[in-house]
A and B are shown apart, each in its own frame.
Chain A
Amino acid sequence: MTDLYFPTTEEQVSECICDHIVMEKSLDVRTGGSLISLGSPMNVASTLSLKELNQVKLYEPEELVITLEPGVLLSDLKNLLMEHNQELKFEPPDLGPLLGNDPGIGTIGGIIGTNLSGPKRFLAGGARDYILGVQGISGFGQIFKAGGRVVKNVSGYDVSKLMCGSYGTLGAITEMTLKLAPKAQDEISLKIHDLETETAIFLMTEIAACPYEVSGLAHIPGTGTFIRIEGTTASLDERIAAIRGLVGKRKVSELKREESEDQWRQIRDVAPLNPPKNLPLWKISIAASDVLDVINDHNPEFYFLDWAGGLLWMSSKDIPTFDKGAFWLIRNTETPLDLPFNKSPDPLIRNLNKRIKKAFDPKNILNPGRLGF
């Protein structure tokens, strides 16, 4: 039985961490906890949940920035931004259902902590590209901040990016500032039926290299290849016509706004591989030119491609093997197999990661071992 802490102020977070430093006891640092199954298993004394830190501190729509605490629910955040016709351009996914939880319980803290990004990654960047500043408590028990709340800022190291995707191993984030984007006026998608994966990869690569700012390119074997276009209503016809020219005489259907939004929500939330197939589910980030080799090498029973071929979701009992790229074990089987959470980096980089961890958390009390080092 572990102790549970639900601090409601930054001072309480600091106090909790300081106490654990003194006691030399480790902490499971999380926000809502819906993504806690991501990562290597941890053996911790207590749980520090940041979910009660759930205030929006500052929202300036005209500046396209928001400062908020980690516990703000993604669903609430989306509604708030929608009031001003804005959004998070990196399309944070809701992996709750995929991981066996309810939908809509994910927090912004979880998304930033794990650096999860949606289908626009290849065009507009990921979570790490939208974080402008952070404040948190390190494993020294001290409050630190980095970055700020302006878009252009190169004052000091970009610690915000380091915190994004650190899985709570470097500190407990108590506040963050994110860059927002205006929501596109309209969207439309094309669905191409019956493409072989190889042809689909080729086509996605070709379309991504065209200046039509296509904001989604995904291929779901047996379902279709999807092409999303967002922008001013006035421009959609022109861009659709140009892309239809590239698609040629293949069988194509058009998905209007609502249908398109629904389709891309499914891709974003990995719905094509949910419910579980009782096989380990891997997320693989790889160059589009190498993805076919990985598919052929592993011959997975179920898979689909996003990020214009740069992201492979695959259900396979084997540990992915390839040279350049990264993978994450997103979901294990019901009876967990002994599998690594992520691709083991080169020893020199692994050591560097360890030294950075030590620079933030010398006693190794914050999510020890969660990233495998």
Chain B
Amino acid sequence: MKMPDPEQEILDKLPDLTGRLVRLLSKKAVITSEQGRKAFESDGLTAYRQSPMIVALPSSTEEVSEILKICNELNIKVVPRGAGTSLSGGALPLADGLTLGLSKLNKIIDIDYQNRSVVTQCGVTNLAISHAVEDQGFYYAPDPSSQIACTIGGNVAENSGGVHCLKYGLTTNNILGLKMVLMNGDIIELGGKHMQESGYDLIGLVTGSEGLLGVVTEATVRILPKANVVKAMLIGFDDIELAGECVARTIAAGIIPSGMEMMDNMAINAAEDYCQPGYPRDAEAILIAEFDGVESEVDYFTQRVSELAKELGATSISISKSEEERNGFWAGRKAAFPAVGRISPDYYCMDGSIPRKNLPIVLRRMNELSKKYGLRVANVFHAGDGNLHPLILYDANVPGELERAEEFGSDILRLCVEVGGALTGEHGIGVEKRDLMPTMFTKDDLNQQERIKCAFDPAHRLNPGKMFPELHRCSELGKMHIHGGKLLFPDIPRF
């Protein structure tokens, strides 16, 4: 993966930049030593590493604004970073860039039960929001699996999902307001505790923009009352396509579980070896479906899904009778990634999205690809909403295996797009899938997206090298060419 070439002009400005940042923050909040910078060299996509030129750790929105003003003036590239759990390399540093670590903005500002909302700084972890409101019976719904570590700022940047977004939506459906700093240092406040804003939906645009449009420093999130009753089902099948069919029939019957997950045989056995959740080892696939609400409704739905599963010849069906048992069903799913990590020196987690009905064909083709590349693949799948997480097993110490794993992963994502899906369901494009963007979008589509970037950051200083396979000059992107009374669409020159 090629990142933009370091610009000598920027590297030359380092002493000036360092001096100004130290005066603004303090020596401790500016990291310049090789060892200190190395701590930031990678995020959750550990195959890529690059030490940043310098790291700044602001403590307030105002400090973020001052830092961006300085960087804007000196033309320094900026890579925002939350907890660094991105799985797509969204926080991968640049050799000529400042990494803006936002972990010190870690305070919850306001808990407002009357308006069912929480105002929080961007460095607060996803789970800490739920913890802060749980004694009043509330929680924050989006639950990415890294929720113990990932920050709400990172969630906004990536529009993170999670197991329960089938019923409660992604981050974008749970954000009411944002405070953000633009590249020129302007601080803007979008939305608030009200539900609809006038003007363009900037909150919707910024959520999922991967740190390319601005630096979000505060978010107002929607909190929900916790359901009275939660029950999970564990259903085994001896054929993975039947498990897929069970998901399809459930949804077609008008039943939307709060979460519906699938694991294949390799993932089941890895989980059993790792933490013994009691999954049927001989099953080709298991489904974990969860329902929440009032008891009568939860019972009705679990009953209906049991019937559907029986009709399809499920080999085992259990409905949780206690919290302990419910947590047990989830234990293996939640530990799936480390469990797979135990059976292979390395694994590469993919994140494609497909129309549910195409699951059988995608699984079949993925098996063929697995044979072609000589690499095993375990499947963990947000089945209810068609979001695949194939885990490709490889050994980075074997020359060429990482490259093969990446090629295999790219083929899987191309396959997702081919069957009507998307390159990424919840992890983001980042650097990882950047070069695959043209498989999903035309040149015109991407030019239009880049023009949006230009409206926020015309010099491409914020997180360059992410999301877009090529960068173009904003002045060229904005031009129209009319010749002889006709509108021409010429190629737009790159940098």
Q: Measuring CB to CB, which residues of chain A are less than 8 angstroms from any residue of chain B?
A: 18, 21-22, 60-65, 85-86, 115, 117, 121-122, 125-126, 128-129, 138, 140-146, 148-159, 161-162, 164-166, 170, 181-183, 185, 205, 208-213, 231-232, 234-235, 237-239, 242, 285-289, 307, 310-311, 324-328, 342-343, 345-346, 348-350, 352-353, 355-356, 358-360, 362-363, 371, 373
Contact = CB atoms under 8 A, between A and B. Distances in A.
A287 B225 contact: no
B207 interface: yes
A328 to B, nearest CB: 6
A234 B456 CA distance: 51
Given A182-B255, A239-B294, A360-B451, A348 B188 contact: yes
Contact of A125 (B117, B169, B293): B169
Nearest to B295: A238
A208 B223 CA distance: 11
Contacts of B201: 115, 128, 161-162, 164-165
Contacts of B467: 156
A154 B422 CA distance: 8
A359 B256 contact: no
Given A156-B449, A289-B193, A349-B202, 7 more contacts: A128-B204, A129-B172, A152-B170, A155-B437, A164-B201, A182-B254, A346-B189
Contact of A126 (B195, B299, B452): B195
Contacts of A231: 293, 297
B254 A126 contact: no
B69 interface: no
A325 B177 CA distance: 11
B385 A232 contact: no
A327 to B, nearest CB: 7
A323 to B, nearest CB: 9
Interface string B85-123: 000000000000000000000000000111111000000
Contacts of A356: 200, 205, 452, 455
A283 B200 CA distance: 17
Contacts of B116: 208-209
10 contacts: A125-B169, A140-B448, A143-B444, A150-B385, A152-B382, A154-B159, A155-B437, A157-B209, A286-B194, A326-B196
Interface string B340-357: 000000000000011111
B381 to A, nearest CB: 11
Contact of A156 (B169, B226, B429, B455): B429
Contact of B114 (A61, A153, A205, A210): A205
Contacts, number: 280
A359 B452 contact: yes
A294 B47 CA distance: 55
B373 interface: no
B296 interface: yes
A278 to B, nearest CB: 25
Contact of A355 (B254, B299, B426, B455): B455
Contacts of A18: 486-487
A154 B385 CA distance: 13
Contact of A289 (B114, B190, B255, B455): B114
**Of listed B186, B201, B248, B386, residue having the most chain A CB within 10 A:** B201
Contact of B355 (A63, A234, A359): A63
B445 interface: yes
Given A18-B487, A144-B448, A349-B202, A307 B195 contact: yes
B252 interface: yes
B386 A150 contact: yes
B437 A327 contact: no
A145 B295 CA distance: 43
B158 A154 contact: yes
B422 A345 contact: no
B8 interface: no
Contacts of B113: 209
B194 A285 contact: yes
B424 interface: yes
Nearest to B160: A154
B202 to A, nearest CB: 7
Contacts of A242: 294
B448 A153 contact: no
Contact of B252 (A61, A128, A158): A61
In the A-B complex, the 9 residue pairs with the smallest Cβ-Cβ separation, listed nearest first, are A161-B204, A182-B254, A235-B297, A152-B425, A287-B193, A355-B455, A153-B422, A359-B451, A342-B198
Given A125-B169, A289-B115, A359 B429 contact: no
A173 B440 CA distance: 19
Contact of B188 (A181, A342, A352): A352
Nearest to B453: A157
B194 A287 contact: yes
Contacts of A128: 201, 204
Contacts of A185: 254
Given A152-B353, A158-B172, A326 B115 contact: no
